[in-house]
């Protein structure tokens, strides 16, 4: 199956292929020309996680990592994607941006587009994300994209005791 592409006004999301994920994981560009400061370590981690899922036979097309490409100049500006395929009608999303393009609404636009794509799939009713309690920029992205904070999760990530949990569900 071909990699999924999701378009919005200012960005196009390109699902990673095995080759692009391997290159990103190994410190390369994944085949894209990046804005200054990219790719972020989150994009490299997502590529590695996607490859691991492919190798284990758990990966499903559409439910992996994507590169955000800015329409105006074709530069990769960040990564976005799912932590794996949906389970029980829910799927987790994450994202990052190159530092040089932060604060311009690209993450919000990409998150809206990918969330709409996910919620249009028959096996998804809820898309969710977690964020560190001190990551107010990410919390603003989630809120602007229509997500609602529903509480905290005790899952320790990065040494934190809890994270804020946000959800977006089908009406």
pLDDT tens digits along 65-87:
999 999 999 999 999 999 999 99
What pLDDT, on the 0 to 100 scale, is given for residue 167? Answer: 97
- What spatial distance separates the first Cα and last Cα of the chain, rounded to whole Å? 30
Higher pLDDT, 133 or 67: 67
Other beta carbons less than 10 A from residue 152's beta carbon? 13
Average pLDDT over residues 84-96: 96
What pLDDT, on the 0 to 100 scale, is given for residue 160? Answer: 58
Three-class SS of 143-156: HHCCCEEEEEECCC
Integer Cα distance of 98 and 76 in angstroms: 9
Kind of pairing between the strands at 126-131 and 90-97: parallel
Name every residue whose Cβ is closer than 8 Å to that of residue 10 and which is 6 or more positions away in sequence. 70, 71, 72, 105, 106, 109
What pLDDT, on the 0 to 100 scale, is given for residue 30? Answer: 96
Proportion of the chain above pLDDT 90, given as a percent: 85
What pLDDT, on the 0 to 100 scale, is given for residue 2? Answer: 74
Lowest mean pLDDT among 55-59, 121-125, 136-140: 55-59
Average pLDDT over residues 130-158: 88
Question: Which structure tokens are listed for 160?
Answer: 């934190």
Tokens 């899952």 label which residue? 155
| pTM for this model (two decimals) | 0.93
pLDDT band, residue 171 (cuts 50/70/90) = confident
Higher pLDDT, 134 or 114: 114
Lowest mean pLDDT among 54-58, 78-82, 153-157: 153-157
Average pLDDT over residues 43-58: 93
């Amino acid at each position: 199956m071909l990699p999924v592409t999701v378009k919005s006004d200012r960005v196009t999301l390109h699902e990673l292929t095995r080759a692009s994920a391997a290159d990103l994981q190994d410190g390369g560009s994944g085949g894209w020309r990046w804005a200054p400061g990219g790719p972020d370590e989150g994009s490299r981690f997502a590529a590695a996680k996607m490859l691991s899922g492919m190798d284990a036979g758990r990966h499903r097309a559409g439910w992996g990592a994507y590169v955000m490409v800015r329409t105006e100049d074709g530069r990769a500006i960040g990564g976005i994607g799912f932590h794996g395929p949906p389970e029980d009608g829910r799927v987790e999303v994450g994202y990052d941006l190159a530092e040089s393009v932060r604060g311009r609404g690209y993450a919000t636009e990409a998150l809206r587009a990918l969330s709409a794509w996910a919620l249009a799939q028959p096996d998804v009713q809820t898309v969710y994300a977690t964020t560190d309690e001190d990551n107010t920029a990410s919390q603003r992205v989630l809120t602007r994209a229509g997500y609602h904070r529903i509480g905290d999760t005790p899952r320790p990530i990065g040494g934190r005791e809890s994270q804020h949990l946000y959800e977006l569900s089908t009406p």
